[in-house]
Structure 1
Amino acid sequence: MDDDTTEPKVGVRADVVVFNRGVRPTPWFFDSYSERLYLMIEPGRLLWENPKLPAFWPADLGAITVPNKDVILPLGEAMGLDPRAGGQWATTGTVMLWIVTRLFPDAHVDVAGFSFLDDPGQTSWHHAYGDPSPVGNEHAIGLEARLVRPWIEFGRIDYHR
């Protein structure tokens, strides 16, 4: 990471963790955290969420939140939703795809783990760690599938099942 005492660094890789403040962190969620950029999305803050940092957050990490007006609201509109009015918004994974495809339009994007693409009616998530959890009422994953599928079909992203 750059600082004021050295020349800016340029590379070909960035490790970025996009997560929601309600994440159930795995034991290794913050492993090597000083080598990654953590972006917290807070769409619920449009309606009700507490602005305090989660208790599990390392004290020396700081906080970078993704601005709702620049990401959550336009993404919601692209899905046919108004997150401010209906209390529904995209999942964290789709938010991540939206950010990367807009900030880096020429980047090669490989993704996996978007189960709603194959099962937009699913009612629970089966995570790589821990017990399954219900798909929250705040997510309209059928609309997300409709938004993301063309990105795969037209080669904007490569999806690995």
Structure 2
Amino acid sequence: MGCRKPAARGPAVVRAGARGLVAAMAMTGVRTVTAAVGPHEQSPPAAIVERHVPVVRRLPERYREAVTELAHWAYGAGGGAVFGLLPPGVRRHPAAGPAYGLAVWLGFEAGIAPLLGVHHVHERSLAWRAVVALDHVLYGVVVAGRLAPEHPRA
């Protein structure tokens, strides 16, 4: 029986991973709109790709942007898959998605960004941080399936 539980989570992990991909794409849309109305600032995914994937710097700008988005979407899909590994009772809690999205953001800000040398994240304005926090709440809502709930057994 113990072996069946991980296998039973497989579909939930795949669904949550797919939702993570879609959520990361939605975040790209939000970032595009906010960048159009606010000051132009380099996004954390762009800073990471530029700093840690030097071959990308030699590509034309449009290809650099595409590689950056693909990396962000892969990260979003991976984060969604991790959400799918959480126990079903946790995933179904109404606050699980938004809390997970904020945890992903705070984990990035407190752990991943300093580790990867993305220091300018801490120099952002309060308004920018609020938009990014809301962006990650959106990510969590989508990852948790709140916009298209799954069957209660999942």
TM-score of the two chains, using structure 1 as the length reference: 0.29
Higher strand share: 1
TM-score of the two chains, using structure 2 as the length reference: 0.30
Greater RCO, CA 8 A, separation 6+: 2
Higher helix share: 2
